[in-house]
């Protein structure tokens, strides 16, 4: 049963009555939903756990619904926040939704056993009076004030606006709409959603006099105290235009040993048994980082496909491998390191390397180039340049990778 798998992965934080939930899941497929608000033009890796939770239900034979929150995204969920969100306009919401719907659809069988809905469909034509009459009457202020997400904001420095206070009603109403329209009996989400989920369960019970179910997954944290899903450059997004697949792969390669098993269990579709085998190999030779490699490969393939995993590895090999460079590896670096278009005739000059350094901007002048070469600070295609009159060749007639010091790299591309 899926509950046993989720427990083995450490993926259950809160849930409604377990005996009743197990009984319902044993009776056949259940329709379950999770909401994703379009607050940015991409989901980030923090959204992966609840999204994969829907996928896990799907893989166990249940019917997932991914709710893209076109309506709730305009309001902003106060859960887990200390201050108000910036309100988004229709144009921004629409643009964000276009990307997020594709990301949701890439992991779910939309049009098959899975569905995707937008809560604007039932909210856009509902008047304020209708909402207060049909929805507001089904929940008490006492109940809302008792929720931790609301209480925390009320006690905080910034308080909470009526707009964000009403978010719970909107999400609870989503559950009512999905129960009524699609027979959805269960809502899942991150642990910060528990108050909103239980409000929806209560509203379904009041409206239809029938039970509904809820379950949350823990919010992922990192052992080093840093926020999961954050890199030195900011949030790690699922969109390849926001976070390059190479950077995405590298983020997971840098996972702390203390987090590796947990992330493998919670962020990949590997079975619990497969994860145990990976961890056994990892513990036998931790310096080889088997767990981090499996994690980076698994999550990157899930989001970007096997082709991007291969490119990420080729790029890393070209940057850090220290071995033979080839055209395929250097081509994988395009978009990752700065590049400059150059002429193939550059190699024929008497100061070819010096000209290359100036053309790529790695050195600011011939004097700078000569000094840096003499100090041993320049490599071209992985080889240290020993003198200013040394020659070089373009790999495959196309590429030259220039390196100054340990970190500065630049790709020269013939005719780019």
Q: What is the pLDDT of residues 150-198, one digit of tens each?
A: 777 777 777 777 777 888 888 999 999 999 999 999 999 999 889 899 9
Per the document, the length of the chain is 416
64-68, 232-236, 344-348, 402-406 — most confident range: 64-68
Q: What is the pLDDT of residues 93-109, one digit of tens each?
A: 889 988 999 999 999 99
Residue 61 in tokens: 């034979």
- What's this model's pTM, rounded to 2 decimal places? 0.86
Can you tell me the distance from the alpha carbon of 207 to that of 227, in angstroms, rounded to the nearest whole number? 39
Can you tell me the distance from the alpha carbon of 326 to that of 339, in angstroms, rounded to the nearest whole number? 17
The answer, yes or no, to whether residue 124 has pLDDT greater than 90, is no
In which residue are the tokens 């980076």 written?
Answer: 296
Residue 354 in tokens: 């010096």
Q: What is the pLDDT of residues 220-249, one digit of tens each?
A: 888 877 778 776 667 899 999 999 999 999
Can you tell me the distance from the alpha carbon of 138 to that of 161, in angstroms, rounded to the nearest whole number? 21
Name the 3-class secondary structure at 34: strand
For residue 82, the model assigns a pLDDT of: 42
DSSP notation for 93-148: HHHHHHHHHHHHHHHS-BTTTBEEEETHHHHTT--HHHHHHHTGGGS-HHHHHHSH
pLDDT category at 24 given cuts 50, 70, 90 is very high
Q: What is the pLDDT of residues 297-351, one digit of tens each?
A: 999 999 999 999 999 999 998 888 777 889 999 999 998 999 999 888 887 767 8
User: All domains of the chain, ordered by start, with CATH?
Assistant: 2-217 (3.40.50.620), 242-321 (1.10.240.10), 339-414 (3.10.290.10)
Residue 180 in tokens: 């009524």
Q: What is the pLDDT of residues 130-140, one digit of tens each?
A: 888 888 888 87
């Amino acid at each position: 049963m899926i509950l046993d798998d989720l427990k083995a992965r450490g993926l259950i934080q809160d849930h409604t009555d377990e005996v009743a939930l197990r009984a319902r899941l044993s009776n056949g497929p259940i329709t379950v939903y999770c909401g994703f608000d379009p607050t940015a033009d991409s989901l980030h890796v923090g959204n992966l756990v609840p999204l994969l939770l829907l996928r896990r239900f799907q893989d166990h034979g249940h019917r997932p619904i991914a709710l893209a929150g076109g309506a709730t995204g305009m309001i902003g969920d106060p859960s887990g926040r200390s201050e108000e969100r910036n309100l988004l306009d229709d144009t921004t919401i629409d643009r964000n939704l276009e990307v997020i719907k594709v990301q949701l659809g890439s992991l779910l069988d939309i049009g098959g056993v899975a569905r995707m809905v937008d809560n604007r469909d039932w909210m856009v034509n509902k008047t304020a009076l209708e909402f207060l009459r049909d929805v507001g009457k089904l929940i008490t202020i006492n109940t809302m004030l008792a929720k931790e997400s609301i209480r925390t904001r009320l006690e905080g420095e910034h308080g909470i606006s009526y707009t964000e206070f009403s978010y719970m009603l909107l999400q609870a109403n989503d559950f009512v709409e999905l129960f009524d329209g699609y027979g959805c009996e269960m809502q899942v989400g991150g642990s910060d959603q528990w108050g909103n989920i239980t409000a929806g369960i209560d509203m379904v019970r009041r409206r239809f006099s029938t039970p509904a179910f809820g379950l949350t997954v823990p919010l992922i944290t990192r052992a080093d105290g840093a926020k999961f899903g954050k890199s030195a450059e900011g949030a790690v997004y699922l969109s390849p235009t926001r976070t390059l697949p190479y950077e995405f792969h590298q983020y997971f390669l840098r996972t702390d040993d203390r987090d590796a098993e947990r992330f493998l269990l919670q962020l990949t579709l590997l079975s619990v048994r497969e994860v145990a085998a990976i961890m056994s190999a990892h513990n036998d030779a931790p310096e080889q980082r088997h767990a981090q490699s499996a994690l980076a490969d698994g999550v990157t393939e899930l989001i970007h496909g096997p082709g991007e995993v291969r490119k990420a590895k080729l790029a890393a090999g070209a940057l850090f491998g220290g071995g033979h460079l080839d055209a395929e590896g250097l081509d994988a670096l395009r978009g990752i390191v700065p590049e400059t278009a150059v002429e193939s005739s550059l190699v024929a000059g008497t100061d070819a390397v010096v000209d290359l350094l100036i053309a790529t901007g790695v050195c600011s002048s011939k004097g700078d180039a000569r000094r840096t070469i003499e100090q041993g600070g320049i490599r071209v295609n992985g080889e240290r340049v020993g003198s200013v009159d040394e020659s070089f060749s373009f790999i495959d007639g196309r590429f030259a990778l220039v390196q100054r010091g340990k970190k500065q790299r630049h790709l020269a591309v013939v005719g780019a």
